[in-house]
Amino acid sequence: MRPSPSNSPEAPGERPAPLAAGLGGLCPRCGARTLYAGWLRFEPRCPACGLDISAFNVGDGPAAFLTLILGTAVVVAAVALELSVSPPVWVHLLLWPPLTLAAVFASLRVAKAWLLALEYRNLPPP
Ligand SMILES: [Zn+2]
């Protein structure tokens, strides 16, 4: 679903750069820290400026992209650890699953907000 043109008008706040919006969970229109209702769930509407956040659809893009990046990084790190120290298997079992989960949850929040901010920036003019 395309965001409605009513999402385009300028709001009173300062419009943040997309990466800054991603890192801080900022509304892409007013810059208020109101983008998230939970850790990974967007607010339906910005409480500060009224931007209809539910009209944007970042889809699975961030998750698929992060799966490839983090999967590669974790496998490379696990192979490097195995080749350098050769720890027992239980070290790998205790180390990599929680590390992978933590990295996914931390980076998914940033990636979703960043993609939403880019989507907002690239809206066609009203
Ligand atoms: Zn806002």
- pLDDT tens track, the chain, 126 positions: 445 444 544 545 688 999 999 999 999 999 999 999 998 899 999 999 999 999 998 888 788 888 889 999 999 999 999 999 999 999 999 999 999 999 988 899 999 999 999 999 998 887
What distance in angstroms lies between residue 105's CA and the mean position of ligand 1's atoms?
A: 24
Q: How many residues does the chain have?
A: 126
How do the residues of the chain divide into helix, strand and coil, expressed in percent and rounded to 5? 55, 5, 40
* All residues at 6 or more sequence positions from 12 whose CB lies less than 8 Å from its CB, including other chains: 30, 49
- pLDDT the model gives residue 12: 54
- pLDDT the model gives residue 57: 87
- pLDDT the model gives residue 65: 82
CA dist 103 and 39 (Å) reads 13
Please report where in the chains the tokens 């696990």 appear, as a residue: 78
pTM score, whole prediction: 0.78
- pLDDT the model gives residue 81: 97
What distance in angstroms lies between residue 42's CA and the mean position of ligand 1's atoms?
A: 12
What distance in angstroms lies between residue 2's CA and the mean position of ligand 1's atoms?
A: 18
- pLDDT the model gives residue 5: 42
What distance in angstroms lies between residue 104's CA and the mean position of ligand 1's atoms?
A: 26
What distance in angstroms lies between residue 26's CA and the mean position of ligand 1's atoms?
A: 8
- pLDDT the model gives residue 62: 83
